[in-house]
Structure formats: C-alpha cells, structure tokens
Chains A and B, each alone.
Chain A
Amino acid sequence: MSIKLNKMENQVSTWTNRTRKNTVQLASWTGAWVVTMAIAAFSPKFIGADSTLLFTLTILVNLVAGIGMIIANIKYIRALDEMQKKIQLEAMGIALGVGIVGGLSYSLLDTTNLIAGDAEISGLVILISLSYLTAIMVGHFRYQ
C-alpha cells in the first residue's frame, strides 16, 4: 500500500507539474505575442514612417512569437485529459462557426453599406475570443 501511495505521489507531482508548466508556457508565449503585436502595431505611429527595416523586424518578431504561441497551445491541449479536450474541442468548434457566420455577416453589412464604418478584423477577433471563452465556461459548468 505504501509503495502504491509513493508511486501515486510521484505521479501527482509529475502530472500536476507538467500541466502547470504547459499552462505557464502558453501564458508566456501569449503574453509575448500580445506585447510584440502592440509594438508592431504602434511603432509606426511613434517612430515615424521611414523605418521600414525596423517595422519589418517588429512584424517578424511578432510572427515568431505567434508561432511559439501556436506550438505552446498544441502542447497544452495534448497534455489535457479527455474531458478537458472535449470541452476545448466543442469551444473551438463553436468559436469557428461563430467566427465564419458572424464574420461574413459583418463583411456583408460593410459591403452593402448598412454599417457606417469599415468592417475591422479586430471586431472578428473579439467575436471569436468571446464566443470561445463563453463556450469554455459553459463546458466547465456543464460537467460540474
């Protein structure tokens, strides 16, 4: 019994630490991507319009951070247990559906001049993010 408990304690630290490490890695890469995105988006405004090399560099750094974030996300999802994966899959499916349907409707509103301004990509990103977060919360609540 004590051997079993020792083995269990080892597994506790291994699995919990691995999950924690993956979550921290994903959060770090996401944070890096957001910060480099802000730098790439706002540097032309503050530095000036003739720094093409610098702007290209900030975009490349943002791209690298984005690739890192995608890899960290894959690693994070692979390490989840089967119920967590199911919740993630359903949330991603809902977010994708809402993104396509909502995004195309938003684009139609723009092309038919039913909205005053232009359809912005940021609006679509916000819509996908909110629908994904809502679906994750609903998924967790359903299995409570």
Chain B
Amino acid sequence: MKNRLKVLRAERDMTQAQLADALEVSRQTMNAIEKGKFDPSLPLAFKISRFFKLAIEDIFHDEE
C-alpha cells in the first residue's frame, strides 16, 4: 500500500521521530509505514488521518 506520509510530514516540517511520537509508535514503525513495508491497522490509519485532518484515502492508496 502506497502513502503520502513523507510529503505530508515534509509539508508540516516534522521529523519522522516527531510524527512517530505523536502517533504513539516507534520511529522504526513510522519508517516502515512510510516506505510501504508495513501496512498500518485501521485504528492507526484513522489516527494518522485525524492527525493530518485528511481522509484515509487521501493519505493511503492501494497499489492494485
């Protein structure tokens, strides 16, 4: 699953560690999600969407 997390984070001038802490996950997990190596659960995806004030589909999109 691809995502726009890196762009959204850069727009807000945030580091990966800051975003990870705000979402209560480790920096390694944030990095894996950003790279598309780990797909977040639905609750975490909602948490991310609430944080950026965007709909989930505006952040994550299926590769198929």
Interface residues of A (CB under 8 A from B): 8, 11-12, 15-16, 19, 81-84, 86, 140, 142-144
B21 touches A83 (CB 8 A): no
Which B residues are in CB contact (< 8 Å) with A143? Answer: 28-29, 32, 37-38
Q: How far is the CB of A43 from chain B (nearest CB, A)?
A: 41
Number of interface residues, chain B, beta carbon within 8 A: 16
Contact with A along B1-39 (1 / 0, CB 8 A): 000000000000000001001101110110111000110
CB-based nearest A residue for B21: A12
Which B residues are in CB contact (< 8 Å) with A142? Answer: 37
Partner of A83, one of B18, B22, B24, B26: B26
A81 touches B25 (CB 8 A): yes
> Can you list 17 contacts pairing A with B, beta carbon distance less than 8 Å?
A8-B18, A11-B21, A11-B22, A11-B24, A12-B22, A15-B21, A16-B21, A81-B24, A81-B25, A81-B29, A82-B25, A82-B29, A83-B25, A83-B26, A83-B32, A143-B38, A144-B28
